[in-house]
Amino acid sequence: MYDIIGDIHGHAGSLKRLLDRLGYVESAGVWRHPSRRALFLGDYIDRGPEQVEVVRIVRAMVDAGEALAIMGNHEFNAVAWATPDPHQPGAYLRPHSAKNRHQHRAFLDQVEEDSRLHREMLDWFRTLPLYLELPELRAVHACWHPEQLGRLRPYLDRGGRLRDNAWVAAATKGEPLFEAVETVLKGLEVALPDGAAFHDKDGHPRREIRTRWWLDSPASYRDLALVPEITLASVPDTPVADGLLPGYDGEKPVFIGHYWLRGEPRPLTADVACLDYSVAARQGGRLAAYRWDGRHPLSSERFTWVEA
């Protein structure tokens, strides 16, 4: 049985409190449960004050066989940030722009950029699978998209990790592999019809929306848009074309993170649960887990969390 844990973002104190609440006990530097394992959904770094400690806890559990862990978009970005772009001398796979540096600065400060510790963490991030398909459940950071997962598989090793020679294509815009990784780790975005646009919370026009990809039959683009409530009314209420979303087959439950949800944790559908409840938010965030007990459909009663 698994305890599936959402995005931690450097909040080791919250992680320890959640593990304690779930019945794990720390022994010889490893948190253990007598009959269960943890499954971490990615985004261990960026934002929070204890990023090194979070990675230490998660990695120790994985190395001891007490947990499984997958890659989040922040771990992917961390590797790309530090990887030279072979096509542009002096550049990196993730551009060192002011925006990207601001997002990643807390991590770089805490590990001391280009230190031995930094390089060791990046090496570990590279060992993380992009998704897990277990006999009883699935786990992916942002989107279970069969077509894009199919594009990914030739570039993964038997453990589901990106091969060393695939990182450049995975981080290069315009490459098919880039689109697949973006979808799986950051979510499915679609263009609005007929050049339509909406304005985000900062007033900037946007022509694409992040989607509630797990829906089977949304009536309009507004229904499927995963945007802040304050901007939702500006998304066109235009009917959605058939086949735009992958939906979800419901063969087994799938667990995701990434979406910075708020409120009391509950399943998105009978087959899909998000465990990212904004632990790094300034107020009202939670670190959430789902106590998988083999029962399907999913139930709100199986969520456990601690306040950030």
- In this prediction, residue 202 carries a pLDDT of 65
- Condensed to tens digits (0 to 9), the pLDDT of residues 32-66 reads 999 999 999 999 999 999 999 999 999 999 999 99
Specify the higher pLDDT residue, 11 or 219.
11
Total domains in the chain come to: 1
* Pick from 86-90, 164-168, 238-242, 257-261: least confident: 238-242
CATH number of the domain encompassing residue 42: 3.60.21.10
pLDDT at 231 over 90: no
Q: Quick check: is 133 in a domain?
A: yes
Q: What is the per-residue DSSP string for the chain?
A: -EEEE---TT-HHHHHHHHHHTT-EEETTEEE-SS-EEEE-S--SSSSS-HHHHHHHHHHHHHTTSEEE---HHHHHHHHHHSB-TTSTT-BSS---HHHHHHHHHHHHHHTTTSHHHHHHHHHHTTS-SEEE-SS-EEESS---HHHHHHHGGGB-TTSPBPGGGHHHHTSTTSHHHHHHHHHHH--EEEPGGG--EE-TTS-EESEEEB-TT-S--SBHHHHB---HHHHTTS--PBPPTTSS-----SS-EEE--S---SS---SSSSEEE-EE-TTSSSS-EEEEEEE-S-SS--GGGEEEEE-
* Alpha carbons 277 and 284: distance in angstroms, whole number: 9
Q: Quick check: is 171 in a domain?
A: no
One-letter amino acid for residue 97 of the chain: S
The model carries a pTM of 0.96
* Alpha carbons 269 and 251: distance in angstroms, whole number: 13
Strands 138-140 and 37-40: unpaired
- Condensed to tens digits (0 to 9), the pLDDT of residues 262-272 reads 999 999 999 99
**Tokens 């009917």 identify what position?**
239
**Average pLDDT of span 241-260:** 92
Mean pLDDT of the chain: 95
Query: What proportion of the chain, given as a percentage, has pLDDT over 70?
Result: 99
Residue 125's nearest CA partner among 66, 91, 81, 172 is: 81
- In this prediction, residue 17 carries a pLDDT of 98
- In this prediction, residue 282 carries a pLDDT of 85
Q: What is the distance between the terminal CA atoms of the chain, rounded to a whole angstrom?
A: 25
Q: Quick check: is 233 in a domain?
A: no
- In this prediction, residue 77 carries a pLDDT of 98
In degrees and rounded to multiples of 5, residue 253 shows phi and psi of: -65, 150
For 28, the domain range is: 2-156+249-307
The answer to whether 292 touches 5, Cβ cutoff 8 Å, is no
- In this prediction, residue 228 carries a pLDDT of 82
- Condensed to tens digits (0 to 9), the pLDDT of residues 182-198 reads 999 999 999 988 878 87
pLDDT at 216 over 90: no
Q: Quick check: is 214 in a domain?
A: no
Q: Quick check: is 215 in a domain?
A: no
Strands 254-256 and 272-274: parallel
Q: Quick check: is 227 in a domain?
A: no
Would you give the distance in Å from CA 51 to the centre of its chain?
16
Q: Quick check: is 238 in a domain?
A: no
Q: Quick check: is 241 in a domain?
A: no
- In this prediction, residue 201 carries a pLDDT of 63
